[in-house]
Amino acid sequence: METASSRQIVIMGLCYVFSATLVTWPGQILRLARQDAWIGVPTCALIMLGVLWVVNRTLHAHPGKDLLTLFVEKYGWLGKCLVGAYVLLLTLDMGKDLRFGTDFVNVVFLPRTPSILIATLIAATCVFMVRGGIEIVGRMAELYIPLFIVVALCAGLLLIPDLSWQYMQPFFEKGMIRPMVGVWYALTPIGNIMILPLMFSNQHFTFRQSCMAILISCGLLEFVLIICQLNLSSTLAGHLMYPAYEAVREIRLTDFLDRFDLPIVGLWLPTIVIKIGINLYVICTALQRIWPSLEARTVVPAVGAWIVVFGFWLFHTSVEVVSVNDAWPVLVIFWWIMIPVFACVGLLILARVQQSRLRRPS
Amino acid sequence: MILLLIQAVGLVGGLLFVQWREWKKSNRVTRIIYAVCLLSAATMWVLSNTLMFTHTSFAWLPKFSFAG
For the residues of A325-362, what is the DSSP string, one character each? HHHHHHHIIIIIIIHHHHHHHHHHHHHHHHHHHHHS--
Cis peptide before A170 (omega within 30 of 0): yes
As a whole number, the mean pLDDT across chain A is: 91
Asked: is A6-351 a CATH 2.30.40.10 domain? The reply is: no
* Residue A112 scores a pLDDT above 70: yes
With contact defined as beta carbons under 8 Å apart, do A24 and A238 qualify? no
For the stretch A171-196, pLDDT in tens is 888 888 999 999 999 999 999 999 99
pLDDT at A258: 67
pLDDT at A204: 83
Lowest mean pLDDT: which of A11-20, A84-93, A118-127, A256-265? Answer: A256-265
Q: Distance between CA A244 and CA A268 in Å, rounded?
A: 12
Inspect the interface and report whether the beta carbons of A324 and B23 lie closer than 8 Å: no
Between A262 and A132, the higher pLDDT residue: A132
C-alpha torsion sign, points A65, A66, A69, A71: positive
Query: Which residues 6+ apart lie within 8 Å of B43 measured at CB?
Result: B8
Q: Percent of chain A having pLDDT more than 70?
A: 98
Between A181, A293, A320, which is nearest B27 by CB?
A293
Would you place residue A26 in the very low, low, confident or very high pLDDT band (cuts 50, 70, 90)?
very high
Q: Is residue B67 part of a domain?
A: no
Inspect the interface and report whether the beta carbons of B63 and A326 lie closer than 8 Å: yes
| Parent domain of B13 | 2-51
Inspect the interface and report whether the beta carbons of B19 and A299 lie closer than 8 Å: no
Domain count, chain B: 1
pLDDT at A1: 43
* Residue A59 scores a pLDDT above 70: yes
Between A129 and A204, the higher pLDDT residue: A129
pLDDT at A271: 94
CB pairs under 8 A between A and B: 86
* Residue A217 scores a pLDDT above 90: yes
Would you place residue A11 in the very low, low, confident or very high pLDDT band (cuts 50, 70, 90)?
very high
For the stretch A286-304, pLDDT in tens is 999 999 999 999 999 999 9
With contact defined as beta carbons under 8 Å apart, do A279 and A199 qualify? no
Chain A residue with Cα closest to B33: A299
For the stretch A232-269, pLDDT in tens is 999 999 899 899 988 888 887 766 666 777 888 888 99
Q: Distance between CA A273 and CA A122 in Å, rounded?
A: 6
Smallest CA–CA separation between A294 and chain B, in Å? 5
pLDDT at A216: 94
**ipTM score of complex:** 0.91
Q: Distance between CA A342 and CA A78 in Å, rounded?
A: 13
Q: Is residue B63 part of a domain?
A: no
Q: Is residue B64 part of a domain?
A: no
Q: Is residue B65 part of a domain?
A: no
pLDDT by residue for chain B (68 residues), tens digit each?
A: 788 888 888 888 888 888 889 988 999 999 999 999 999 999 998 998 888 778 888 888 888 766 45
pLDDT at B52: 79
A124 and B CB contact within 8 Å: no
